[in-house]
Structure 1
Amino acid sequence: MTIKLIERIPVSYSAAHSLNDIFSDRERQDVLGGYEKLERCPKGNTAAACKTNLFFGFFFDGTKNNYIRAEAGKNHSNVARLYDCFPGLSTPTVLPENTDWIHKKEEYSHFFRVYIPGVASPFEQIGDSGTGLQETRGAAAGYGGEGRILWALLQAINNIHRYFLKKPLLSPDETRSILNRIVLDRARRRLMQPRRQFEREMPNDEQNEKTRLEFEKILKRLHAAIAVHMPDKYGNARQKDPATVKKIFISIFGFSRGATQARAFLNWLMSMCTLDARMCKKEGVMTLGGFEVAFNFLGLFDTVASVGLGNTLGNSLLGKMFDGHGGWADTDDSLRIPPGIPCLHLVAAHELRRSFPLDSISVKQVLPPNCDEVVVPGVHSDLGCGYMPGEQGRGLDSMGGDMLSRIPLIYMYRAARLAGVPLKLEFANEVAKERFKVAPETIKALNAYLATCKVRTGTLTAIMREQGKNQILWRRSRRPTSKTPLEASASFGRASNFDKNDLHSANQEFEQEICEFEEWLAGKGKGFKAKEQGPGFDNTHKNEWEEIATWWNSAPQPGAETLNFFDNYVHDSRAWFKLIPKNPDNEKDMIEKLKEMESRRKRVIQFNETEAKIVAEQQKNTRKYYGKNSGMELQPFKPLDDELGDDGRRAAEEFGRTGKIPRMKTKGREPFDSSWASYGLSGKAGYLRYRKVYSGYDSVLISSNRQPTEEAVA
């Protein structure tokens, strides 16, 4: 299959809720029509009327993305938006009842949809509060990801039980107990099938087999509970009410760490289904509850693992030991796309944070069969969404209809439906339809930018290199010392003070970064000829700087189409992302910090005034008692420093007067220079860099511009 830059988008995307607009006549009749026959329950007194298929949809949200929390800011992720148009029964208590499917729900009793909130957000079903230390660990290291995968596996079992017996097999309390007994990692997945006759036993195999044994217990309970509904060798069941199930079709979606979870979940679900088939003595197929399972589609938005210690640590000693693929998220097993699974992976063209390396679905740049990897302009959350309408001044529509993230949403929606996923936007509620609307101006702006791009197919590296170059050139044209600085742009003017503070502070850091880069380049001398990077995008900034130096002084300024696109549609993911603790990444926390700053400022002023009076009085009494020239002078009073700095002190005072966030400097981003303020993390993580991309192995980084053949990497 193909790796490519996204193609020009048709204006029909602005009417995604209309089947006649978003799909061609042939697609509606030949493709969707065929899938709909599988979805419908036959009616009448014929034998066919007693047979049906089940449809399961699993939706893994990204870090800090949470359907309920997003209600206030209208910043639902694209995974949550896709969940809205998958019909059928929801998992009880996860989401409010007002999110349930409404349209002819009696016709979708054989459809089940499962939503999994992102790590670093509340998910009480697994005991994750999404606050305090759990939130910090979730955001930094993916804490809670394994529990979410296991919970989803148990819901697949519950779905079958719910279809036949109208209640789950496993209660919420029992589910939480199971979460504490099962570990998901590569060693345990290997043992989901018994060892072959002469296979050597590995250390810890006895301990690692416990995961399989736990799954066997649960599956045996399922088989016993639905025994009268399970098919015999001829496909018939003793009890045909509500129906005889022919096949279970499964679709899976994920964004960011949710995409990582989706990939691991797919592999574990296949292992569980293979185990079920062995228990049911069915060879050559995968089953669940004895029913054959087929996987329709895997839809991924910008996979970022960062599980455990990740690429945040760069080239430090720890950074070389850990790469964000800990536990359940290893690259060469759990994150691989199994053969034959249709998959679409949308990749963010302009994400550059060191903490957000990409895990390509390719293996040494070769895509698995039936898989596509499409590069989409924008940063991480411009693909998966999560930005609020108007955030950073991007967008004017209060409902977010002019946001760039709507385009990858609809692109994924189309691909999924054409692959057989039973998404039904045309029958979803009006709120769900509103969340799919995209303005024609946004489509026009993207297409105008795409027309300037030269590399459209080939290696992921070649496409990403051009996109990275385009972004750096745009940013250079908006540096503070340019004639058209970022601060003079219309989008900056529209932004809130909170966003302006981050954007301006980050732009000031970029200016310092440029000065350091140009000083390094000048130090190379006039005879220096920069070379493209060799294989393996590493974290060594000098290699990346040399790559940038190949075009820094010769590349033309970006045109109006590029300037408009980045100015008004692409967010700055580094500006708001605060790696260093106690630096708020949202307005609510910033207001709390300003309250603390103002309180501290006032306390220190009061303390200094009181202490100054006391010392002055003591000085007066000393002089009176000993005489003015006695030499018994007290030390002058030294005022206590509030440690806010001039800018922080001014900001705190202004906040105290207005109650609003003032213009001020912010910090705490991934540092572009090493310092103890960054806890010793490796530096050079600013804007003059490329994104790190893994290709199926921890040690394989995509950088070669040569397209390898399958024979070369076999």
Structure 2
Amino acid sequence: MSSQPQSSSTTQIISAATRDVPKTPPTAKQDCSDVLHLAFFFDGTGNNRDADAAGQRWSNVARLFDAAMNDPSKGIYRFYISGVGTPFNGEVSWVDKPDVWLEDHALGGAFGAGGDRRLLDGEDRMNQALRQAVVNNAKKMGGEVKQYVEKNKDASLNDLNKAIGAHRLIKVINISVIGFSRGAALSRAFVNMLVGQCRKQADGSLALNGFPVRFTFLGVFDTVASFGMPAHNITLPLEQRDLRIPACVERCVHYVAANELRYSFPVDLIREGGKYKAGWTEKVYPGVHSDIGGGYGPNEQNLDGNYARIPMNDMHQEALKAGVRLLSMADIKRTLAPIFDRFTVKPETQKNYQAYMSAANPAGTSVEADMRCHMKSYYESNGTLSRKKRPLAGQASFNSSSIKHAMWGTIDLEAPAYAEALKTHRDIVVTNRGTAEERVFFYSFKPEQWRLDAWLTNAPDSIVNFFSRYVHNSKVDFIANVEPFSYFRPRGVFEQKSS
């Protein structure tokens, strides 16, 4: 689903990387200007680059951050913001530390607390970078401008702008933002926040803090803005207007997880009124939330975690084409050899993915159509595995917990109840275990025939092989698997709304 054809040409990448490069170095006799590239990376709920290192459970956002260039002397800056529900990696005053501790633990993971703090932290870091760039370029320029910044070392960005802004020490600011999950929602809100601070110039362009600005790239993995338990779903402290992507974003790419089934993880699309703006693309991948955004460790649920690198590498290419200052795969291998393995896709993984896509054959006509196609394959694969008495994803974790076994069933236990409900033309009824609130919610659930039909259909080997090796079960370890009878319920899909 895209407004334009896709291309991965080297020419595009080179052109994007050099479009704003000044032809001559700044001197004391010319209008000194510079081009800034600011890249922000908002990680997902429960994802934290430092904390995830021990289990090698880095998200795709954290991996892409590691591939980002960082050279302030050349106007290139990168900023990583840890996911809500994990230790906040920004600066915190002693007064705020108790609140931050709560946000980093229960409140952050369950209710998304800490989102506003992360937005403001991104803004603070941006302003620090702008100030640093102004000072650096003033020193390069020499003369009275250099003398001013050396004399006024503690001057704020606003004071510097008033005093020496006429010298155009910054030519343009290029802003790119990448996020996953609730971090994707924050990425969209962050862009909106900055655009709201911009002033429109006479030529129609935007200026931020007095400097020309371009929002060159917004890349998001499976945007989820909601939080909470079944029947208690609430949104991140964001309004619809915060998620709506401004038209000034030049390139926007959104990757959607086709097989995510947790009730509290509906996806927020970038599509509006069934249409996409020029330069915007939305693509559906098979797999659950963290199969697309990353975050599973090696052999977690006895599955290969390598598949998540396919959408990661696709996003990497999209960002390079848009001019985001990331290292190429060749440069990562050359300069970051110890972590190059975090970016590589095994030939076998690529082969199995391509075989699956050929068999599933999604039409690409809409997000919903492709999600249905991949869900059909998901049911066929799991039904086939169940009939052959082969383990399903997450089965070992489920079997190891007597609590999970006593309370809820897995997909192969749910299917018979589903069939019975279809025969008697009634809603699925949960047993008297669980709270009244949960029972009321699931009484309202009506099954769809095609889902059970797919479960009863034998899948070809290419589809079974892909799901059995790469697609995780996001429900089985999520809040003690508190969402019964939801493997056959459709995922929530929301379009962004016009303001």
Same fold (TM over 0.5): yes
Q: What secondary structure does 2:475 align onto?
A: helix
User: How many angstroms apart in 2 are the aligned matches of 1:3 and 1:30?
Assistant: 17
Conserved in 2, the CA contact under 8 Å of 1:42 and 1:51?
no
1:298-377 alignment to 2 at 5 Å? 298-307=218-227, 310=228, 312-314=229-231, 319=232, 323-327=233-237, 329-331=238-240, 333-341=241-249, 342-377=251-286
Q: What secondary structure does 2:191 align onto?
A: helix
Look up the match of 1:165: 135
1:649-664 alignment to 2 at 5 Å? none
Q: Match for 2:208: what amino acid?
A: L
Post-superposition CA distance 1:7-32 (Å, at most 9, x none)? 9xxxxxxxxxxxxxxx96xx323541
Post-superposition CA distance 1:568-593 (Å, at most 9, x none)? 11111111112xxxxxxxxxxxxxxx
Conserved in 2, the CA contact under 8 Å of 1:58 and 1:251?
yes
The equivalent position to 1:692 in structure 2, one of 482, 489, 492, is: 492
User: How many angstroms apart in 1 are the aligned matches of 2:130 and 2:380?
Assistant: 54
Q: Match for 1:390: what amino acid?
A: N
* Mapped pair 1:669 → 2:481: yes
Conserved in 1, the CA contact under 8 Å of 2:288 and 2:473?
yes
Look up the match of 1:545: 447
Tell me the CA shift for residue 502 of structure 1: 6.3
User: Residues 452 and 552 (structure 1 numbering): CA distance in 2 closer, same or farther, change over 3 Å?
Assistant: closer
Tell me the CA shift for residue 406 of structure 1: 0.5
Q: What secondary structure does 1:38 align onto?
A: coil
Q: What secondary structure does 2:453 align onto?
A: coil
Tell me the CA shift for residue 60 of structure 1: 0.2
Look up the match of 1:416: 319
Q: Match for 2:174: what amino acid?
A: F
Q: Match for 2:37: what amino acid?
A: F
Identity in percent: 30
Tell me the CA shift for residue 131 of structure 1: 5.7
Look up the match of 2:302: 393
Q: What secondary structure does 1:63 align onto?
A: coil
User: How many angstroms apart in 2 are the aligned matches of 1:363 and 1:128?
Assistant: 40
Could you say what the CA RMSD is over the residues aligned between the two structures, in angstroms?
3.4
User: How many angstroms apart in 1 are the aligned matches of 2:20 and 2:368?
Assistant: 40
The equivalent position to 1:513 in structure 2, one of 414, 432, 440, is: 414
Q: Match for 1:38: what amino acid?
A: D
Q: TM-score if structure 2 supplies the norm length?
A: 0.82
Q: Match for 2:196: what amino acid?
A: S
* Mapped pair 1:294 → 2:214: yes
Tell me the CA shift for residue 162 of structure 1: 1.6
Q: What secondary structure does 1:345 align onto?
A: strand
Look up the match of 2:122: 152
Conserved in 1, the CA contact under 8 Å of 2:385 and 2:464?
no
User: How many angstroms apart in 2 are the aligned matches of 1:469 and 1:430?
Assistant: 40
Q: What secondary structure does 1:417 align onto?
A: helix
User: How many angstroms apart in 2 are the aligned matches of 1:571 and 1:409?
Assistant: 17
1:136-151 alignment to 2 at 5 Å? 136-151=106-121
Q: Match for 2:459: what amino acid?
A: P
Q: What secondary structure does 2:254 align onto?
A: strand
* Mapped pair 1:406 → 2:406: no
Moved over 4 A (4+): 44-49, 126-134, 497-500, 502-508, 539-544
User: How many angstroms apart in 2 are the aligned matches of 1:30 and 1:254?
Assistant: 23
Structure 2: gaps spanning 5 or more residues: 138-154, 427-440
Post-superposition CA distance 1:289-348 (Å, at most 9, x none)? 3110001100000001115xx5x333xxxx5xxx53353x222x1101111411000001
The equivalent position to 2:460 in structure 1, one of 556, 559, 564, is: 559
Post-superposition CA distance 1:450-486 (Å, at most 9, x none)? 001233221211111121121122222233xx23331
User: Residues 502 and 249 (structure 1 numbering): CA distance in 2 closer, same or farther, change over 3 Å?
Assistant: farther
User: Residues 137 and 3 (structure 1 numbering): CA distance in 2 closer, same or farther, change over 3 Å?
Assistant: farther
User: How many angstroms apart in 1 are the aligned matches of 2:207 and 2:234?
Assistant: 32
User: How many angstroms apart in 1 are the aligned matches of 2:353 and 2:53?
Assistant: 27
The equivalent position to 2:17 in structure 1, one of 28, 35, 46, is: 35
Tell me the CA shift for residue 519 of structure 1: 1.6
User: How many angstroms apart in 2 are the aligned matches of 1:47 and 1:284?
Assistant: 29
Q: Match for 1:339: what amino acid?
A: A
Larger radius of gyration: 1
Conserved in 1, the CA contact under 8 Å of 2:42 and 2:61?
yes
Conserved in 1, the CA contact under 8 Å of 2:179 and 2:185?
yes
Q: What secondary structure does 2:340 align onto?
A: helix
Conserved in 1, the CA contact under 8 Å of 2:408 and 2:481?
no
Look up the match of 1:618: none
Look up the match of 2:438: none
Tell me the CA shift for residue 424 of structure 1: 1.5
Q: What secondary structure does 2:360 align onto?
A: coil
Tell me the CA shift for residue 670 of structure 1: 2.5
Conserved in 1, the CA contact under 8 Å of 2:103 and 2:114?
no
Tell me the CA shift for residue 48 of structure 1: 7.2
Conserved in 1, the CA contact under 8 Å of 2:377 and 2:454?
no
User: How many angstroms apart in 2 are the aligned matches of 1:128 and 1:375?
Assistant: 40
How many residues in Structure 1 have an aligned counterpart in Structure 2? 456
Conserved in 2, the CA contact under 8 Å of 1:60 and 1:261?
yes
User: How many angstroms apart in 2 are the aligned matches of 1:29 and 1:407?
Assistant: 22
User: How many angstroms apart in 1 are the aligned matches of 2:309 and 2:22?
Assistant: 30
User: How many angstroms apart in 2 are the aligned matches of 1:306 and 1:34?
Assistant: 35
Q: TM-score if structure 1 supplies the norm length?
A: 0.58
Conserved in 2, the CA contact under 8 Å of 1:303 and 1:360?
yes
Conserved in 2, the CA contact under 8 Å of 1:62 and 1:118?
yes
1:122-521 alignment to 2 at 5 Å? 122-123=87-88, 125-126=91-92, 127=96, 134-165=104-135, 221-231=156-166, 236-237=167-168, 244-274=169-199, 284-307=204-227, 310=228, 312-314=229-231, 319=232, 323-327=233-237, 329-331=238-240, 333-341=241-249, 342-395=251-304, 403-425=306-328, 426=331, 428-479=335-386, 482-486=387-391, 501=400, 505=405, 508-521=409-422
Q: Match for 1:420: what amino acid?
A: G
Q: Match for 1:260: what amino acid?
A: A
User: How many angstroms apart in 1 are the aligned matches of 2:298 and 2:194?
Assistant: 36
Conserved in 1, the CA contact under 8 Å of 2:185 and 2:243?
yes
Tell me the CA shift for residue 363 of structure 1: 1.9
Conserved in 2, the CA contact under 8 Å of 1:392 and 1:500?
no
